[in-house]
A and B are shown apart, each in its own frame.
Chain A
Amino acid sequence: MLSTGLSEIKRHLRTHRLPHIWCPGCGNGIITQAFLRAVEALCLDPDKTVIVSGIGCSSRVVEYLDFDTVHTAHGRAIPLATGIKIVSPQLTVVVLAGDGDIAAIGGNHFIHAARRNIDLTVIIFDNFTYGMTGGQYSPLTPKGERTATSPAGSVESPFDICELAKGAGATFIARSTTWHAFDLVHLISRGIDHHGFSVIDVIAGCHINYGKRNQRETAVKMLRWQKEHGVPIDIFRQLPEKEKKDLFPIGIIHSSSRPEYTDAYTKVARSGLNE
């Protein structure tokens, strides 16, 4: 899959909609590229793949992708994707959105979709902030980090979105970063391929609105920070607790299997076959 050439992924871009709105050095392009490499690796039919997003810099991605795309309201990508998937289970439905979109305003939808284990893949463009509105703190901003609305450092504890997804019932959960771009392709492919609710949390850099307030004012510094703080899950688990501080595990965080929502509905509601 790493051999996929740029020309192969370029055919999935609406090049007439470029240039994109993202700042130079933004991590969103790396995630977009990884997603399209995964589409190629899985040989997804572009006519049967629907991409749904919310509102934010990252959610604008759908405008550039040559599939059926739905740019919904802030936080509402998952409910719309749920409606699409329920009536058209043959479609591959992917949600692309920011950490604010998924974890704050869309947080309730996120945990309920996980609980249902509906076959959606949610890729979180996790830049720790509300990029589009100027860099305010999000539910995934690490404690103590400075943002436009936490000038002295955030006093709130962030969600561990992967643990939240696990607790809520998601059956495939992975984390990566824009530095670990090749692993990311593999993890996104695994997530889309998984039959059930999949979450891929991608740590991405917003040096313009976030990094500048936290001594990571360049794209290079953002990437270096990701490289130094993301630790493969197997190694992470062996670390003594106090060394885990500030680090985060990357790789497949959780993978399990239980009945997927639309399958279960067909079986139980349509045929009355309770398990």
Chain B
Amino acid sequence: MNNDNIQLMQGNRACAEAALAAGMRFFAGYPITPSSEIADFLSSALPAVGGNFIQMEDEIASMGAIIGASLTGIKTMTATSGPGFTLMQELIGFAALCEIPCVIVNVQRGGPSTGLPTSPAQADVMQCKWGSHGDYPMVVLSPSSVRETFDLTIHAFNIAEELRTPVILLSDEIVGHLYERIRIPDISNLSLIDRKRPTKPPPGRYEIYHTSEPDGIPCIPDIGTGFHCHITGLIHGKDGFPTRDPDKVRDLLKRLHGKIDSRKRRICLMEKREMEDARIVLCSFGATARSCFQVVREGRLEGLKIGGINLKTLWPFPDFVFQELPKSVETVVVCEMNQGQVAGLVRQATGNRLKVVGINKCSGTIITPGEIRSAIDRPI
């Protein structure tokens, strides 16, 4: 039987549909262009499946509400753009430290400040990783098409649940507002992950942050199930209570990073094209990856030795990809609608072994295939 379901769908809608398919049952948000379609749709779709939607008073509260709801064991999400994403940073740090699964969608628009509300940009890559204070790891996924938006939203929930961590879906105005014909996968065949949780309070005290490995994932009970757990944004020991014991502080921060870093290869998704004998590699993510792949396609027809990489995971940064490039590669060209945020990471990953060139455009418009082509046709 063919269960294929083909639809003309908007990127933001695909995100919302995938979230529902992943089992998301609580959404809290505050309206902002270009993300509003997600909230608009979920306000009717969620109650229809027994879930809850609420429009909070701001993005700080939205982030707080999804954390609170997640603590009871529900899959939760919020969606926003630049100014709202900035307000969410405080509690994103809280979710990372307290290991509370949730998905935050940032449909990027031009910044800084109110910036360009209806124009695209990709300038929040660094904010995703460093936006809240203190050292904490982050998982950030970046879709370049409507179908990828669907798939990466599912991936985001799976990682959030499995690793007990907030995950950011970093879309952009182009992908969020793009309409494409997509094949929606059969929902019943999706492989979905639910967080592990203890079912019955054991006799004695249960250590909610206990793990058997130093990079392990704790089995934290849902609140309301009789464990009487304590969740705090203070640095805590395995029992969940505040501590300043240097060994415990170090162990917690090491484990938080370790649980993401040690699973990097599994978290990092990417699409590579025409890499075998490539001398030039076009590297991008989100909407601009589309332009790059077009240049690769056309270049190959003309006999250019050119390949492309679409990074679907931006954090943890897949540095291994650039350390394992084919010997033929001489130059990596990073195309992004910002001042060179990913290019810097690629330089760090490659050391001085390769030439890394940035094509950067910060004008609220996409980098076109023509612009990339003329840039690489100039001697670089």
Contact = CB atoms under 8 A, between A and B. Distances in A.
Given A47-B224, A69-B230, A265 B58 contact: no
Nearest to B49: A270
Given A79-B61, A83-B65, A63 B225 contact: no
A112 B56 contact: yes
A67 B225 CA distance: 10
A83 B68 contact: yes
A109 interface: yes
B232 A269 contact: no
Given A72-B233, A86-B26, A81 B58 contact: no
A271 to B, nearest CB: 9
Interface of B: 25-26, 28, 43, 47, 50, 52-54, 56-58, 60-72, 74, 76, 90-91, 94, 223-234, 241-242
Given A79-B56, A270-B47, A72 B64 contact: yes
A86 B54 CA distance: 9
B233 A68 contact: no
A66 B242 CA distance: 15
A55 B91 CA distance: 13
A212 B58 CA distance: 38
A269 B224 contact: no
Binding site secondary structure of chain B: mixed
A88 B73 CA distance: 10
Contact of A83 (B26, B47, B60): B26
A14 B241 CA distance: 11
Contacts of B94: 72-73, 76
B143 to A, nearest CB: 26
Given A79-B60, A86-B54, A68 B228 contact: yes
Contacts of B91: 73, 76
A91 B91 CA distance: 23
A87 B230 contact: no
A116 to B, nearest CB: 9
A88 B224 contact: yes
A82 interface: yes
Nearest to A52: B68
B71 to A, nearest CB: 6
A225 B65 CA distance: 39
Nearest to B98: A70
B56 A62 contact: no
A87 B58 contact: no
B232 A71 contact: yes
A17 interface: yes
A265 B26 CA distance: 13
A73 B98 CA distance: 11
Nearest to B44: A269
A69 B53 CA distance: 24
B231 A71 contact: yes
B232 A63 contact: yes
A104 interface: no
A109 B68 contact: no
Contacts of A237: none
A84 B72 CA distance: 7
A79 B64 contact: yes
Given A71-B232, A86-B52, A87-B74, 12 more contacts: A14-B230, A47-B224, A47-B228, A68-B227, A70-B223, A71-B231, A78-B61, A83-B65, A83-B66, A87-B26, A112-B61, A270-B47
Interface in A9-63: 14, 17, 46-48, 50, 52, 55, 62-63
A80 B225 contact: no
A256 interface: no
Contact of B72 (A52, A63, A87): A87
Contact of B224 (A52, A66, A68): A68
Contacts of B70: 83
Given A69-B231, A83-B66, A87-B26, A108 B58 contact: yes
A63 B230 contact: yes
